[in-house]
Amino acid sequence: MLFQDVAQQVAEEALSEEKTLSIADLIVGGGPGSIIIVLILFILLFIALYIYFERIFAIKAASKIDKNFMNQIRDHVSNGKLEAGKILCAQTDAPVARLIEKGISRIGKPLEDINKAIENAGTLEVYKLEKNVSILATVAGAAPMIGFLGTVIGMIIAFHEMATSGGQAEIGALASGIYTAMTTTVAGLVVGIIAYIGYNHLVVRTDKVVHQMEANAVEFLDLLDEPA
């Protein structure tokens, strides 16, 4: 009985070890097609993560501004200290400050011209905030498609094995094609989901900065439009 128990335990451990499959084994088991496509997807994942973190830090820096900034601008403009206002804007590294500086430099011209100058400067600032974000959106759409391409390739390999064997192919012969189909599909969806979530998060954060820019620009224009 003791020998049978030990033999059964060894058999169960061996079976559990056989069922254990690492990610690396899963990728390699799909053959050259799976390896190439998964490598492409890993490259896209690296690009997506790099763009996401680079942009999130840039947007975070752009949103930081002293709460008293507009109060100081109001004091300088009201007292006619335009140069002091320009210096304050130049010392503040934020999109809002650059918009206000553009507006201060146009003081003396019609309010419509000042508004247009601020709008043009705002367009440039938004473009800077959205730099490379479109690439993230492209990765979000392309990664699943590349994964599905691997699925099609894998199924072609599997059916080719069946065709060349006269319909009598063993499961082992079909494994490479099936592995390619499954691993590339999963990898493509994972990369696409990560890129999609990252893209939408960046859009939300960018919209907040744009709203901050618009609010401060309106406050500045209201300051200029106040009766003397």
Q: Which DSSP string do the residues of 11-23 spell out, in sequence order?
A: HHHHHHHHH---H
The pLDDT of residue 24 is 54
Task: Tell me whether residue 187 is in a domain.
Answer: yes
Task: Tell me whether residue 200 is in a domain.
Answer: yes
In whole angstroms, give the CA distance from residue 97 to residue 69.
Answer: 8
Task: Tell me whether residue 5 is in a domain.
Answer: no
Task: Tell me whether residue 48 is in a domain.
Answer: yes
Task: Tell me whether residue 168 is in a domain.
Answer: yes
Considering only CA atoms, which of 105, 118, 96, 53 is closest in space to residue 212? 96
Residue 15 has pLDDT above 80, yes or no: no
The pLDDT of residue 11 is 43
In whole angstroms, give the CA distance from residue 185 to residue 174.
Answer: 17
Query: Contact, 76 vs 84, CB < 8 A?
Result: yes
Residue-number span of the structural domain to which 182 is assigned: 26-227
Half-sphere exposure of 164 (CA within 13 A, CB side): 8
Task: Tell me whether residue 69 is in a domain.
Answer: yes
Per DSSP, the three-state class of 107 is strand
Write the pLDDT tens digit of every residue in 53-72. 999 999 888 888 878 888 88
Task: Tell me whether residue 17 is in a domain.
Answer: no
Residue 10 has pLDDT above 70, yes or no: no
Please name the amino acid found at residue 119: E
Report the domain count for the chain. Answer: 1
Residue 125 has pLDDT above 70, yes or no: yes
Task: Tell me whether residue 9 is in a domain.
Answer: no
